[in-house]
Amino acid sequence: MANKFFVSPAPHVHGDLSTTRLMGDVVIALLPALMVSVRVFGWNVLAITAVSIACCVLFEFLVQKYLVKGPATVGNLSAVVTGLLLAMNLPANIPLWIVVIGAVVAICIAKMPFGGLGKNIFNPALAARVFLLIAYPVQMTSFPKPTLEGFADAYSGATPLGAAKAGLVDFASFDIAGMFTGAMGGSFGEISALALLLGFVYLLMRRVISWHIPVAVIGTIIAFSAIYGATEGGALVWQMPLFHILSGGALLGAIFMATDYVTSPMTTKGMVIYGIGIGVITMCIRLWGAYPEGMSFAILIMNSTVPLINKYVKPKRFGAVK
């Protein structure tokens, strides 16, 4: 017979989604923020990013080949995303050997021992960042000044949140425009709200993520700081929320870290609960904790609640009796 008949159960067609495409879209969505960082902090940013990505991909390849002994998985680009996100959570003047250690923690401790992509409990890039923060506190918290000409060097060396913690911020006069466009100290991926929001719009348009987690996180931070601001009185009601969403890792975390598929809930209701949790914990740490920034800790803590959320928060079934 000239024909070979193929059989399989339905469906016989597949949509255009693939893991590689989704991961590739996340990389594209992060490019505006990366470009702003290069402009503000110089070429060093690219060196850190390159080392971070290269190490993550290499380590995943090696672990997969020699320890897991499974088919190569680096083609799905998830190690590239981890490397890129790890880099963007580091200061722009971090020594490169620390970046390598970060990649080891992200891939060889936080991701692969659980079984690789899809199995890890904690966001690998954030687990690595928190490890580095504890292991190398000096290098991880000395941020270079934004060097772009024309921007006021408002917080030379310190981050806005660090200044706020030390009681140095005058909420009536902080540089909103600078924080929006990238003229603030901090990990190099988090400095420009504008670039991050651009990435958010792209992710929504490509239907890579839904709005639930970012909106829940940011909404909670706004509500929490507005209430706190109100108790302090005066214009702080709106100044505090604005300061808290633009500073630190709020947007980078809400849009790119908290939405990591593997470590976030499966239902929209679950996503909202998870997002609110992140917002509340972040604000508690920022206002009353020892660290100036709490985003990383908040996301990691909420990561650990995801299996529980998935178990108890079910989607609304069709035809469920009201």
Partner 1 sequence: MAKTFPIGGVHPSDNKQWSKSSAIETMELPDVVNIPLSQHIGTPATAIVKKGDKVVVGQKIAEATGFMSANIHAPISGTVTAVDLQPNGQGIRQMMITIKREDDVWDEAIDRSETLVTECNLEPKAIVEKIKDAGIVGMGGATFPTHVKLSIPEGKRAEILIINGVECEPYLTSDYRTMLERGEQLIVGTRILMRAIGVTNAVIGVEANKPDAVKHLQAIVGAATDIKVQMLKTQYPQGGEKQLIAAVTGRQVPAPPALPIDVGAVVCNASTAVAVYEAVQKNKPLIERVVTVTGAAVPSPKNLLTRFGTPVEALIAKCGGLAEGDVKVINGGPMMGRALSNIAMPVMKGCSGITIMVGSATVRGVESACIKCAKCVEACPMGLEPYLLSKQARKRAWDAMEANDITSCIECGCCQFTCPANIPLLDYVRLGKQTVMGIIRARNMKK
Least gap, CB of 316 to partner 1 (angstroms): 5
The burial of 219, by beta-carbon neighbours within 10 Å (0-12 exposed, 13-18 middle, 19 or more buried), is given as middle
17 contributes a contact to partner 1 by CB under 8 A: yes
Taking CB under 8 A as the binding criterion, the range among 109-117, 122-130, 143-151, 173-181 that sits at the site for partner 1 is 109-117
Give the CA distances from residue 253 to residues 194, 198, 260, in Å, rounded to whole numbers and listed in that order.
Answer: 14, 15, 10
CA–CA separation, 309 and 267 (whole Å): 9
Q: Which of residues 162-221 bind partner 1 (CB under 8 A)?
A: 210
Taking CB under 8 A as the binding criterion, the range among 12-20, 37-45, 54-62, 179-187 that sits at the site for partner 1 is 12-20
Please identify which residue in 49, 64, 73, 181 interacts with partner 1, judged by CB under 8 A.
73
Taking CB under 8 A as the binding criterion, the range among 43-51, 104-112, 249-257, 264-272 that sits at the site for partner 1 is 264-272
307 contributes a contact to partner 1 by CB under 8 A: no
Reading the block at residue 45, the tokens are 């940013």
Residue (of 153, 250, 258) closest to 197 by Cα position: 250
Return the number of the residue (11 or 233) whose C-beta is nearest partner 1: 11
Taking CB under 8 A as the binding criterion, the range among 10-18, 173-181, 221-229, 243-251 that sits at the site for partner 1 is 10-18
14 contributes a contact to partner 1 by CB under 8 A: yes
Least gap, CB of 82 to partner 1 (angstroms): 13
Least gap, CB of 18 to partner 1 (angstroms): 5
69 contributes a contact to partner 1 by CB under 8 A: no
CB contact at 8 A, 72 and 64: yes
Burial 249-276, CB ≥16 within 10 A → b, else e? bbbbbbbbbbbbebbbbebbebbbbbbb
Return the SS3 of 164. helix
CA–CA separation, 175 and 179 (whole Å): 6
Please identify which residue in 95, 96, 97, 119 interacts with partner 1, judged by CB under 8 A.
119
Least gap, CB of 262 to partner 1 (angstroms): 5
Task: Say how many C-beta atoms besides its own lie within 10 A of residue 109's C-beta.
Answer: 16
* Count of residues in the chain: 322
Instruction: Please report, as ranges, the residues that interact with partner 1 according to CB under 8 A.
Output: 2-15, 17-19, 21-22, 73, 76, 78, 115-119, 210, 261-262, 264-268, 310, 314-321
